[in-house]
Amino acid sequence: MKILVINGPNLNMLGIREPGIYGNQSYAALCESIRSYAAQNDLEVELYQSNHEGDLVDQIQAAYGVFDGIVINPGAYTHTSIALLDAVKAVGLPTVEVHISDVSAREDFRRVSYIRQACVKTICGHGFAGYTEALAFLKEQKT
Ligand code: CA2
């Protein structure tokens, strides 16, 4: 099973500031934990990060016919992007929305998620473990 893991804007800055919200581990450490989980659970993963909305749309579109599912943390585009919602709808791949922090317990604007209506599951506030939980969910769903 092949899963594309996408991270949106500023997630490449993890560990640099706001450790109280996002922890003190880096984006490289996040990638390593995802790769290690995938290797131990017979999953193929590809990781992609971009700060640009159109690049994220391109990557979701390119997943069509190539990947079996998507794990996405759209970062701040969660709260603004109809384009990402439409891209996930267009490819029709099972997609899990992940947030490191509990967006429901922060500012009001973080409670809005456009992409959520196209996702099979949302995981919030579980830190880096949310990504591996999302992989496990997609694997379980396929069998
Ligand atoms: O909790 C999450 O995973 C978020 O998707 C992270 C986004 C935020 O805009 C969403 O509301 C929730 C932010 C990405 C990382 O931002 C950083 C800020 C300071 C230092 C390092 C990363």
* Gap between the Cα atoms of 133 and 123, Å rounded: 8
- C-alpha 18 – ligand 1 centre gap (Å): 9
Q: State the catalytic residue, choosing from 48, 99, 114, 131.
A: 99
Provide the residue type at 123 as one letter: I
pLDDT, averaged per 10 consecutive residues of the chain (143 residues), comes to 98 92 95 98 98 98 98 98 99 98 98 98 98 98 86
Residues with Cβ < 8 Å from 139, sequence gap 6 or more? Answer: 1, 41, 43
* Gap between the Cα atoms of 134 and 71, Å rounded: 7
Provide the residue type at 87 as one letter: A
* Gap between the Cα atoms of 110 and 75, Å rounded: 10
What global pTM score does this model have? 0.97
- Residue 48 DSSP label: E
Query: Angle 35-77-88 (CA atoms, 0-180°, nearest 5)?
Result: 70
Decide: helix, strand or coil at residue 26.
coil
- Examine the residue annotation and report whether 99 is marked as an active-site residue of this protein: yes
Instruction: Provide the pLDDT for residue 143.
Output: 75
- C-alpha 28 – ligand 1 centre gap (Å): 15
Instruction: Provide the pLDDT for residue 19.
Output: 87
Instruction: Provide the pLDDT for residue 142.
Output: 87
